[in-house]
Structure 1
Amino acid sequence: MSKTYPLFVKRDLDGFFGLFIDNLVQLLLILGLCGGLCGMTGEYSSLLFKHIFPGAALSILIGNLFYAWQAHRLAAREQRSDITALPYGINTPSLLVFVFFVMLPVYVESQDPVLAWKMGLIACLGSGVLELLGAFVASRIRQHTPRAALLSTLAGIAIGFIAMTFTLQIFHKPLLAMLPLGLVFIALFARTRLPLDLPGGLLAILAGTAVAWLLTALAAAGVTLPDWAANSQMSVSQLAAQRDTLGLYLPLFVGGEVFQLLANWSDWVGYLSVIVPMGLFNIIGSLQNIESAEASGDRFPTAPAMAANGIGTIVAALFGSCFPTTIYIGHPGWKELGARAGYSTLNGIVVVLLCCTGLIGLASALIPIEAGIAIVLWIGMIISAQAFQATPKDHAPAVAIGLFPAIAAWGATVMMGTVLAANGTSLQEMLTANPATEVNGFLVVGLLTLERGYIFTCMILSALVANLIDRRFRAAGIWALIGAILTLTGLMHSFQLQGNLVDYWLIGQQTAEKTWLFSARGIAIGYTTIATLCFLCGMSPQSKSSGH
């Protein structure tokens, strides 16, 4: 191994803690959602500890090792020591969508956690196959897509689904989270050396964990804590209870079950309306993250990076995990941290250790998530900034418009969660009574319309504006036509609503009775109108002018 690019550098610790916290959040989501919604508790908890977690760990390890190897290879080829491996882990949107729109409906209908798990495997496998196929066309898509269109989507996701999510948690438990936040900001923005020259991420987690257990000890000693401090305690009983899950759980090949279910195509074909959109979104998301890495100076080959992503997801399905993996958002943040390839390798090893020994529950009971989220918040800030810094200055408006659909998607997600929690008037009842219903001045149907396929919408609007700024009318018109086509197929904007569950409404898809439908044909006509205007402007003699 090259001395100029070692297996591990000190700053890989910071990168590891950030990436690990990100993966830990996904694993805890799986534990909570599969247990709470899909019946994987009691005797059926073995589906989690014997199949899902070991399968997920294997897929994460394969991906982490591949991307670390890819970083070493690029460093050797370019004779550089500052290459940062692509971050990788479980895909959060796919996790949520597959639970709520594949596994949960199967469990509600059959009351069989095993069948819900098997259908999740089919969904995961389908997503992986699509991601693998996408590797063969990804390079061409990158060549014809403005950088602003690729990076603005990531910035929107970073603002709404990373930075905002973790900011709310920080200010919910400030005693735990604000000390780590200050340490991370001082270490990474001011570049100040911390005590014992410890990495900022490590010190932040140690400090947050120490505060949490200090408050717990004070409460145990009889000290009455005010409400704003009491909510930051840890649970000793929960920590003790996690001992029951300890054991050795090696990944088990379940391809036989998968292929047996595949043969009964009528059992799963109805879920293609969920599997296909999510697979396509994962392709575009991975593509955007590779572009983000190149904007930071690390040019990884597109096809191998995306193929490894697809293979990792296929491995997950064949070894028991229902949840696709993906190239994570955040490469510029890890690079800014000083992480190289070691953080990726270390993350894979630790995730395997936790998932294959049952320690995942023990780790979650020992370390408060708030102690580490400052690192992930910082990553979100860096990604958001990169969208403007790494694109031509003239393309700033294109970046800005690309943020809007992702922010609308965040708003829709918050609104849907609130309505579900309130358990009152459903979204379907609300929109049936008045399709123009507003919540605090925001159109409900507008939020849902922009939320459906928002990754595509961000990309198309940004590419359209970037090409118009450059007076490339034909290219702008083509992007508008792509928007029309994706809208007509149902991959953007159209949706169906049953109660509070929002799902895609794909072209030709049969819908259940008493379903509220929103057809986006009018939006498709709108995109076509914009395309026509662009083509007409392209034919005008004035379009040859260099003026703006």
Structure 2
Amino acid sequence: MNEDRKNRFWGETTAFLALFLDNVGVLIFLSAILVHTFNYPAEIILTRMIPGTAMGIFFGDLLYSLLALRLARKTGRRDVTAMPLGLDTPSTIGIAYAVLGPTYIASQDALLTWHVGMATLFMIGIVKMVTSFSGAWIQRIFPTAGLLGSIAGVGLLLLGFLPLIEIFNEVVVGMVAMGLILAVLIGKLQLPGRVPGVLAAVILGTALHFALGYAGYIPEFKTPAFDMKLCIPLFSLDFLQTLPRCIPYLPLAIPFGILTIIGGINNTESARLAGDAYRTRDILLTEACTSLIAAFFGGVAQTTPYIGHPAYKKMGATWLYTLFTALAVGIGSVVGLMSLFVGLIPRAVIAPIFLFIGFEIVHQAYRESPDAHSAAVSLSFLPVVAHLVTIILRQFLDAASITPEALPVRLQVLHSTLTVLSNGFIVTGLLWGSMLAFLIDQQVRLAALCTLTCAGLTLFGFIHSVHPGGEIYLPWQISSPRPFMIALGYFLFSCILPALTKRRQANPEPLSAESSEGKSVTSG
């Protein structure tokens, strides 16, 4: 094998492993959240959710490989790199914590919960189909700080902090894996023999996990089952009966669908700048259709084009790495190999990958937003903080069999406030970030429109729902005055802004004087 072929082989192999393990990691965390946080039956996850979700990856990467081949024939180039496609990490984690888990706790019906997940994915797919034709318009309407800030909050807290807990749960395994992954992916260091860092972290971390587990140093260690079951995902329409139950989750489904479309636009532009000019609509419609396909086969997580096409191109990857990923995930899920990986690879090994992904999402939000909008990006994190606290608090209360009503009055108020702040956190973060970005740009009317929108959505529970599960409602159906009080607060906020604008325009001299005083102090 000559040097050129060897480089191409390692390039395709490294790209395949990176994309494949990214998707395996998402499935591992989806499974871990549902099983360990909500006590959801693992059997349904391994035999139904994972094979159905894998169908979206299979068809998506297969179609992206075909698009790359078409572009290669059109341009006469052999170095065309396919767009990478996989499961969208923020929305998968969000759906696990905000849709599947709460539905199972409320109903204790695993089959119903699975169908609700399928129906929610179906709604996301419809949103993506519609917005694939208007994604650029949405991108022009909302500031980047609002669009990316709320997802960056998910990246920092749900993909950063929660995986950090998993790392410290198995600190020896987690630290070894984190050291390798951070050194290779962020530090840009190379291992001897050009061994991919992610692969080395998975193999070494998993070996340490089993060595320590069999030695009795891991309290929750379970002997793995190496049996593989044939899990053929079947096309079904039964989940459509649960669509009415999914209406409360529209505040999650809509922004998650829109944001992956906008991400697809950005990623397609990134690929064009790297030398591969794909048609944006082809890329967007593929991710929308494959998300819908996954829902009909039992999937609960949407597909999206991944950030990093230029990185895969630098590796020397072509259309083969996405083809191999499609086959490995698709065939692997049918024969039970994907479920075996999910059961074998410990969470502490995969957690550092999500830590890295979370950092990249946060970095992108600040990088793509104007420097002046950094405060707006930070503000949009805060509703996600509330959601993180409620996730952890819910685990303690459930484990202790304590209802919120049994808490002292002061803690009841605190719990209620955290719940209200948490519900609809993605939309809240988007609107808060957009509002502050407009204020920074002195577009006061648009800022006021954002706060008025918050007031209207609050009345119906799309954000700040007073129900623990975040359900939406009609204002007159709620006995609590809290939605009206929150909406009134937003309304008064929106009224203050134009008044401040008029005052500034009517009295410019004092502001000029203050400004000149500030300049003199600075110069002094």
Instruction: State the TM-score bracket (shorter-chain normalisation).
Output: 0.7 to 0.9
In structure 2, the partner of 1:178 is 175
Q: Could you tell me which residue of structure 1 aligns to residue 441 of structure 2?
A: 470
Is 2:381–2:429's contact at 8 Å kept on the other side of the alignment? yes
Q: 1:352 to 1:334 in 2, by over 3 A?
A: farther
Question: Does 2:257 match 1:254?
Answer: no
Q: Is the 8 A contact 2:149 2:430 kept in 1?
A: yes
Instruction: Select the structure that is richer in helix.
Output: 2
Tell me the equivalent position of 1:413.
391
1:22 aligns with 2:25: yes
Q: Which residue of 2 aligns with 1:94?
A: 95
1:59 counterpart = 2:78 = no
| Deviations 1:478-512 (CA, angstroms, capped at 9, x unpaired) | 22222222222211112213xxxx3324225867x
What corresponds to 1:209 in structure 2? 206
2:492 corresponds to? 529
TM-score between the two structures when normalised by the length of structure 1: 0.76
Which of 385, 394, 399 does residue 377 from structure 2 map onto? 399
* 1:117-128 superposed matches below 5 A: 117-118=114-115, 121-128=118-125
Judge conservation of contact 1:333–1:378 (CA < 8 Å) in 2: no
Query: Matches of 1:314 and 1:89 in 2, distance apart?
Result: 14
Name the aligned partner's letter for residue 23 of structure 2. F
Residues 28 and 311 (structure 1), Cα distance of their counterparts in 2 relative to 1, 3 Å cut:
same
Tell me the secondary structure at the aligned position of residue 503 of structure 1: coil
Q: How many residues align?
A: 494
Secondary structure, in 3 states, of the residue corresponding to 2:467? strand
Query: For structure 1, which segment, 275-284 or 145-154, has the greater mean C-alpha deviation from structure 2 after superposition?
Result: 275-284
Q: Secondary structure, in 3 states, of the residue corresponding to 1:327?
A: strand
Residues 72 and 180 of structure 1: CA distance in aligned 2, closer, same or farther (over 3 Å):
farther
What are the ranges of 5 or more consecutive residues in structure 1 without an aligned counterpart?
Answer: 220-224, 263-267
Tell me which residue corresponds to 2:454: 483
Task: Report the CA distance shift for 1:210/1:103 in structure 2 as closer, same or farther (over 3 A).
Answer: closer
Work out the CA distance in 1 between the residues paired with 2:69 and 2:385: 36
Q: 2: distance between equivalents of 1:208 and 1:116? A: 33
8 Å CA contact 1:248–1:356 kept in 2: the answer is yes
Q: Equivalent residue for 1:231?
A: 218
Kept in 1: contact 2:136–2:265 (CA 8 A)? no
Residue type of the alignment partner of 1:542: Q
Match of 1:325 among 302, 306, 314: 302
Match status 1:434 vs 2:420:
no
Cα distance between partner residues in 2 of 1:114 and 1:387: 37
Q: Is the 8 A contact 2:57 2:86 kept in 1?
A: no
Bigger mean CA offset, 297-306 vs 155-164: 297-306
Quote how far apart the aligned CAs of 1:362 are: 2.6
Identity among equivalent pairs (%)? 22
2:337 to 359, 370, 383: 359
The one of 227, 230, 252 equivalent to 1:278 is 252
2:464 equivalent to 1:493: yes
Q: Name the stretch that deviates more: 188-197 or 269-278.
A: 269-278
User: CA 1:304/1:543 → structure 2, altered by over 3 Å: closer, same or farther?
Assistant: farther
In 1, Cα distance between the equivalents of 2:193 and 2:444? 58
Q: Distance in 2 between matches of 1:543 and 1:131?
A: 46
The answer to whether the 8 Å contact 1:282/1:326 transfers is no
1:150 aligned partner: 147
Superposition deviation, residue 451 in structure 1:
0.9
Q: Is the 8 A contact 2:104 2:113 kept in 1?
A: yes
- What per-residue deviation string (whole Å, max 9, x for no partner) do you get for residues 125-183 of structure 1? 34433443343443322111111112211221111100111111112212212122212
Aligned CA distance change for structure 1 residues 99 and 462 (closer, same or farther; 3 Å)? closer
Change (3 A) 1:103 1:207: closer
Question: Cα distance, 1:194 vs. partner?
Answer: 0.9
| 1:365-413 C-alpha deviation (Å, 9 max, x unpaired) | 4332322332221121122222222322111111111121112221221
* 1:12 Cα deviation from its structure 2 partner: 1.1
Shift of 1:30: 8.3
RMSD of aligned residue pairs (Cα, Å): 4.1
Select the residue among 135, 138, 141 that pairs with 2:138. Answer: 141
* Structure 1 match to 2:522: none
Q: Which residue of 1 aligns with 2:518?
A: none
Which residue type is aligned with residue 434 of structure 1? V
Q: Secondary structure at the match of 1:248?
A: coil
Deviation larger for 474-483 or 397-406: 474-483
Cα shift readout 1:165-224 (whole Å, capped 9, x = no counterpart): 11111122122121222122222333222111112111111221232344356x3xxxxx
